[in-house]
Amino acid sequence: MLTRIDHIGIACTDLDATVEFYRATYGFEVFHTEVNEEQGVREAMLKINETSDGGASYLQLLEPTREDSAVGKWLAKNGEGVHHIAFGTADVDADADAVRDKGVRVLYDEPRRGSMGSRITFLHPKDCHGVLTELVTSAPVESPEH
């Protein structure tokens, strides 16, 4: 069952400048950064708020590290802007199977590693009214040591 909007992915050409825009304009601060070599992106997660299921909602800013990455190709074709929407789920495998059973194409046979250790898969935009849709199961939050 989908529980929240996990994040909205925004493709950009200059991650640092885009982060500064969101910081200066809206006061959003960077919660996490990483380079995902498999996906070919450098990213920053800006936390917007906490959610009732213990997760959070983010803006995910994505700068391609290579032109042949999915985000690089998308950016060359479409320019900067909203790339995808991601919904949080407790079980990405089960929810991917459920939407697949409804005729929606799931882009990965098995979920892959996403931001902050999450497990992700994508749904084909042609089956989702033109919206690239991601399903995300967040990595378990480690309890603080006493």
Predicted pLDDT at 146 = 40
Predicted pLDDT at 54 = 72
Predicted pLDDT at 56 = 86
**Class assignment of domain 2-137?**
alpha beta
pLDDT along the chain (146 residues), means of 10: 93 98 96 95 94 84 97 97 96 96 96 93 97 93 49
Residue written as token pair 């320019």: 79
Give CA–CA dist 2/8, Å, rounded: 15
What kind and span of H or E run contains 2? Answer: strand 2-11
Predicted pLDDT at 51 = 78
3-class DSSP state for residue 29? coil
The domain ranges of the chain are 2-137
**pTM for the whole structure:** 0.89
The residues annotated with a catalytic role in the active site are 7, 43, 60, 84, 134
